Chain A
C-alpha cells in the first residue's frame, strides 16, 4: 500500500491521487476493517474455547474424584461385592475400627472430627474476630502494617509445620495437665486446629470489616455511641456475611485437616472421646494412616470413610454458597 501510493504520487497525476484517495478511504478501509473484525471474531472464539476448556478441567476433576470415591466407597454396602458386605448402619455408628477383626465402625471418628472442629471454631473464631477488629478498627495504621503480614504469613505455613509445633510444644504441655500419660488428645487437636484456622478467619474478617462503609460508623458515633458500641453493634453485624463465610471456611479447613492432626491426635482404635484429654482418631487421620498399606475390604472401608468426609465438605460448601447468595 505504501509502495503503491509512493509510485502513484511520483507520477504526480491528479486523477491518480484522487483515485488513490478513494481507494484508500472507501475500499481498503472497508476491507481492512472486515479482516480485522474477522480476526477478532476468530480470536474471540478461540479464547472462548480455551477458557471453557480450562474451566471444564476443574469441573471434570471434581466430578472424577467424587465419582471415583463414591464408586469405591459405596461398594461394600451393595450386594455382590468381592470382599463381602458391610452394614452401612454399623459402619456409620460403630465405635470400633479393628481391620484385623473385620470391624469397621467410624461413628467415633465422626464424633471426633465434629468435636475437634467445634472446639477449634469455639476457640479460634473469637480470637480471630478480635484480631480482625483490632487490625481493622483499633490499631494505628503502622502497627496494623506489621501485624497483618504476620497473620498472613501464619496462613501460608504448611500444615505439617503446625503439626510439628503441636507435637513438640502443645502435646507435651497438654500432657502436663492431663490425667493420661500422653499429651496427644482431643484438646491438643483443638489447639493446633484453632491456631491453624485463625489466620484465614482473621484475614477474611479484617477484609469484610474494612469493607463496612464509613457512613455506618459516622451514623453511630453521631448518635453518641462509643467506639466499642459502634464496633459491636453496627460494624460487626454489618460485616456478618463476610464473618460467616470466614467461619464456614474455617470449619472446612478444620474438618479436612490431616497432616497437623495426625501428629497430635493419638491413634484411638475405638470409643467416643470421654474427655478433652482422650486420644482421638478423626476421619482424615483414619484415611491417611492406613491407605498406604490397606487392601481388600479395609481399603474399601477407607474409601467409605472418604465418602463421609466428602459429604461433610459438600454440606459446608452448600452452606457457604447459601450465605454468599444471601449477601447478594
Chain B
C-alpha cells in the first residue's frame, strides 16, 4: 500500500500555544483514514496542515516535515497547486452564494478553463460523483443556497471533486446534517475511496467504524494511536484509546 502523506516530527504552535506535539503518521492512499479524539485535541488543526490552510492564520508556526507522494509540501511547493491536489470539505456546508453550476465550475474556472462544453461536462460528472445530479440537474442555475443542508454538503463535495484532486480532506462533514443526509454522505464517501484518498475528522465513533479503513486517535495535541480501524475499535493498544472509544472520557 502506497503512502500518500508522510508526516515526521510535526509541531504546530498558535503563538505560544503548542497545538500539535511531534506528530508522526503515514496516511495511505486510496483509503479512508479517520481522525478521532475529544474536542480541542487538534484534529482540525492537523487536517489543515495537510493542505496548508493553517497558512491563513498569522500566528501559526509549523516545524517538522509533511510530504505528499514524497514531496515536501512546506518547501518549494506552490500552495495553490497543492490545494488543487488536496481538496477540502468543511464542517459547515459553505457553498458560495451563486448558482449550483457556478459553484461546481468555480475551481476549474480559477484554473483557466473557460470552454462551456468542458465546464458542462465537469459539472455533470462532479455532481454525479457526489450523488447530487438527479436532485440538481433541473436547477443548475438556481442559487446553491436554496439547497438543503445535506444537498449543500454534497455540493461542496462535488465542488471539491471537480478539481479532480488526489486527496479529499473532510472536517466533520456530517456534523451539521440529519441522519438521512448523513447516510447519503457516508455512502458517497464509500464510493469515493476507489478514486481518492480520504481523510475525515469525525466525532462519531460509529461513523469512523463504519466508513474508515484506518483510524488515528488524538489526545491533547498528540497522536496516541494509529492503526487499522478494526484493530483500534476492538483491540486498542493504548489504555487512553480504549477509554475514549468506550466512552470513559472525552
Contact = CB atoms under 8 A, between A and B. Distances in A.
Interface of A: 213, 215-226, 229, 233-234, 237-238
Given A215-B92, A229-B110, A222 B51 contact: yes
16 contacts: A216-B94, A216-B96, A216-B97, A218-B90, A219-B94, A219-B95, A219-B156, A220-B106, A222-B51, A222-B87, A223-B163, A225-B80, A225-B106, A226-B80, A233-B106, A234-B96
Contacts of A213: 94
Interface string B84-116: 100110101011111000000011011100000
A2 to B, nearest CB: 53
Contacts of A224: 80-84, 107, 110-111, 163
Contacts of B87: 222-223
Given A219-B156, A223-B160, A233 B110 contact: yes
B30 interface: no
B43 interface: no
Contact of B53 (A216, A218, A229): A218
Contacts, number: 66
B56 interface: yes
Contacts of B92: 215
B110 A225 contact: yes
B245 to A, nearest CB: 30
A237 B111 CA distance: 19
B214 interface: no
B159 interface: yes
A215 B95 CA distance: 9
A239 to B, nearest CB: 10
Contacts of B110: 220, 223-226, 229, 233
User: Which of B81, B84, B110, B160 is the most central at the interface, judged by chain A CB atoms within 10 Å of its CB?
Assistant: B110
Nearest to A140: B58
B53 A221 contact: yes
How many chain B residues sit at the interface, stated as a range, is 20 to 34
A233 B80 CA distance: 16
Nearest to A223: B107
A225 B107 contact: yes
Given A220-B96, A221-B53, A223-B159, A215 B106 contact: no
B94 A237 contact: no
Contacts of A238: 96-97
A241 to B, nearest CB: 10
B114 to A, nearest CB: 13
User: Which of A219, A222, A229, A234 is the most central at the interface, judged by chain B CB atoms within 10 Å of its CB?
Assistant: A222
A18 to B, nearest CB: 54
User: Which of B90, B106, B109 is the most central at the interface, judged by chain A CB atoms within 10 Å of its CB?
Assistant: B106
User: Which of A216, A217, A225 is the most central at the interface, judged by chain B CB atoms within 10 Å of its CB?
Assistant: A225
B119 to A, nearest CB: 14
Given A221-B53, A223-B107, A224-B111, A215 B97 contact: no
Contacts of B81: 224
Contact of A218 (B56, B82, B163): B56
Given A222-B51, A225-B106, 15 more contacts: A215-B90, A215-B92, A215-B94, A216-B94, A216-B96, A223-B106, A223-B107, A223-B159, A224-B80, A224-B107, A224-B163, A226-B110, A233-B106, A238-B96, A238-B97
B200 to A, nearest CB: 15
A224 B77 CA distance: 13
Nearest to B102: A233
A238 B156 CA distance: 17
Contacts of B56: 217-218, 221
Nearest to A222: B88
A91 B90 CA distance: 62
Contacts of A216: 94, 96-97
A255 B51 CA distance: 50
Nearest to A219: B94
Interface string B10-44: 00000000000000000000000000000000000
A219 B90 contact: yes
Nearest to B80: A224
Contacts of B97: 216, 237-238
B96 A222 contact: no
A79 B83 CA distance: 75
Minimum-distance CB pairs A-B, first 10: A224-B84, A223-B107, A222-B88, A215-B94, A224-B83, A225-B110, A219-B94, A224-B80, A229-B110, A238-B97
A179 to B, nearest CB: 44
Contacts of B107: 223-225
A302 B16 CA distance: 69
Contacts of B83: 221-224
Contact of B94 (A218, A225, A226, A229): A218
B152 to A, nearest CB: 11
Nearest to A227: B80
